Structure 1
Amino acid sequence: MGLEGIKLIACDLDGTLLHPGEREPRSEAFELIDELHRRGIVFMPASGRQYASLRYLFAPVADELAYVCENGALVMSEGRAVVKRSMERGLAMDIANAVVAYPHADVTLSCEGHLYTMSSNDAFVDHLRYEVHCDVAVVDRPEDIDEDVIKIAFQTPEAEQPAALEYFVRRFSDRVDVMTSGTEWTDFIGFDSGKGSALADYGCALGISPNEMMAFGDNENDRDMLNVVGHPYLMESCNPSMRGVNDRVRYVRTVEEELRRLLAE
């Protein structure tokens, strides 16, 4: 089919566009994004990352893109929030304080403009600031944050993530979606705040139907996105729990390889 009829391509980062061990897209990815832009196709990084971090990561083509940030709680296009879903404040405080009390967990609270943390782990804060390029503010307690919270996340050692996920699913899954985002991160977002809801709302705003959308993903935080779009792709190296996510999904080795093939058809 090539890319005939496709108007939007959403793409997860870690484990999908970013290959294992990589921290930024390859130059080939930027070339392919440029070509998509010339053809009038919107390319959307779809990630749990903050908007500032995504713009830094895609600096060579940053102004050509729209962005699904914070695992779908925020969509940015042309420098403005097109979709934004905030958590109820009491719920956000309950979750944040529970994570603060949990052993070996470094918590972050995402707002539209800043990423907040209560972590006393300097290496963790430096990683967010200087490697992930987030706009980070350190506060003493969650209640010190006076912005709307759109996502809460925490990092644990990889070996401890399954137990942490099980604990927080048991405690909060009746009030928010609790999902893994990579091998060390766990995210909390509102029930209507996933990547799939973000794409659906953005598509409505632009007049783009699900059948005109394509998406690439690899993990549980991509599930609703891959169910929403008409043309879903999973990485061959995806989380085993994602295999067979729906009867339309195709499997690819790399995003670049598949985009190159589609552009050539």
Structure 2
Amino acid sequence: MAIKLVAADLDGTLLDSDKQLSPDLFPLIGALEKQGVRFAPASGRQYYNLREMFAPMADELVYISENGAMVCDGAKVISFSAMPAEVVQRAVETAREIPGASAILACREGAFYENDKDGVFLENMAHYYARRRYAPDLLRLAEREPVCKVAVFCSRKAESTVLPALAPFAAEAQVALSGADWVDLMRPGMNKGQAIGSLCEALGIAPEDCMAFGDYLNDLELLQSVGESFAMANAHDTLKKTAKYICPSNDEDGVCRTIRHILGIDK
């Protein structure tokens, strides 16, 4: 097996239920590098959030952030896929009408939000957006700032409330359920799988030589795009049916254990 790239989602995949990375992960990434294998966090999280999480080796990794809308090799931006401003503005207007929902606009240099009163939203946003700034009106911001993703938060009601409200955007935007609390809108066709294609082209490797791990519906295209796909034991049922293999859960250090087993890397 000639694996050249390993991509792994964060929440529910690399991170355990306490939102912690495995202590074995950084040594494992170092071992992968010695074998000529690149490692890519692949997340709906912000690029700057991922760099912060992987600070000890931030410039050595490749990143699939914002569910594929921003792809980087270390500090170099490989791709940034902005949405039409008019679609962004209508998405913000729709989010404003959803009870309990709050929108975030993901831009190249950081994220912007207009709801600074909801403590639950602010706490959750802080987990995923390291570089963020308050903006009094996201509609006006979208007129002047390119936006690669609109993220809409609604505590524990993303699938039941936000997803149906944003479903009409499916003809002009990629609508992805990113977890129990989040729904993301991006350019049509934009997803982690498309980002794998961009990374493979930039790195000069084939998708068949990639391995990927995921747990939720925004990982669907990621797993479909690689040669070796793994759904976590705790994954959404749809993802389990899509993946080539099932691996141990995020609370069992499933990603690290599987990589070591498949690629023959000893501790």
- TM-score, normalised by the number of residues in structure 2: 0.91
Q: What is the aligned partner in structure 1 of residue 15 from structure 2?
A: 18
Q: What is the aligned partner in structure 1 of residue 251 from structure 2?
A: none
8 Å CA contact 1:177–1:191 kept in 2: the answer is yes
Secondary structure, aligned partner of 1:109? strand
What is the CA-CA distance between 1:36 and the residue it aligns to?
0.7
What is the CA-CA distance between 1:167 and the residue it aligns to?
2.1
Q: What is the aligned partner in structure 2 of residue 263 from structure 1?
A: 263
1:194 aligned residue (187, 191, 194): 191
Q: What is the aligned partner in structure 2 of residue 125 from structure 1?
A: 122
Amino acid across the alignment from 1:93? Q
CA distance in 1, matches of 2:80, 2:116: 29
8 Å CA contact 1:109–1:152 kept in 2: the answer is yes
TM-aligned CA distance change 1:160 to 1:109, over 3 Å: closer
Q: What is the aligned partner in structure 2 of residue 252 from structure 1?
A: 247
CA distance in 2, matches of 1:8, 1:242: 20
CA distance in 2, matches of 1:150, 1:128: 17
Superposed counterparts of 1:136-151, under 5 Å: 136-145=132-141, 146-151=144-149
TM-aligned CA distance change 1:132 to 1:91, over 3 Å: closer
CA distance in 2, matches of 1:63, 1:157: 33
1:81-105 CA distances to partner (integer Å, 9 max, x unpaired)?
1011110111111111211222100
- Measured on the aligned residues, the alpha-carbon RMSD in Å equals 1.6
Secondary structure, aligned partner of 2:77? strand
TM-aligned CA distance change 1:133 to 1:91, over 3 Å: closer
TM-aligned CA distance change 1:49 to 1:237, over 3 Å: same
Answer yes or no: is 1:185 the counterpart of 2:153: no
Count residues in correspondence: 257
Q: What is the aligned partner in structure 2 of residue 163 from structure 1?
A: 161
2:45 aligned residue (35, 46, 49): 49
CA distance in 1, matches of 2:72, 2:86: 26
Secondary structure, aligned partner of 2:82? coil
8 Å CA contact 2:152–2:162 kept in 1: the answer is no
CA distance in 2, matches of 1:180, 1:160: 7
TM-aligned CA distance change 1:205 to 1:243, over 3 Å: same
Q: What is the aligned partner in structure 1 of residue 79 from structure 2?
A: 83
Secondary structure, aligned partner of 1:244? helix
CA distance in 1, matches of 2:186, 2:19: 24
1:219 aligned residue (198, 216, 219): 216
Bigger mean CA offset, 152-161 vs 255-264: 152-161
Secondary structure, aligned partner of 1:83? strand
Answer yes or no: is 1:239 the counterpart of 2:236: yes
CA distance in 1, matches of 2:219, 2:54: 20
Structure 1: runs of 5+ lacking an equivalent: none
CA distance in 2, matches of 1:150, 1:213: 25
Answer yes or no: is 1:112 the counterpart of 2:94: no
8 Å CA contact 2:58–2:74 kept in 1: the answer is no
What is the CA-CA distance between 1:117 and the residue it aligns to?
0.6
Runs of 4 or more off by more than 6 Å in structure 1? none
What is the CA-CA distance between 1:47 and the residue it aligns to?
0.3
What is the CA-CA distance between 1:122 and the residue it aligns to?
5.2
Amino acid across the alignment from 1:150? C
8 Å CA contact 1:116–1:137 kept in 2: the answer is yes
1:188-224 CA distances to partner (integer Å, 9 max, x unpaired)?
1112221111110111122111111111011110111
Structure 2: runs of 5+ lacking an equivalent: 249-253
What's the % identity of the aligned pairs? 31
Q: What is the aligned partner in structure 1 of residue 152 from structure 2?
A: 154
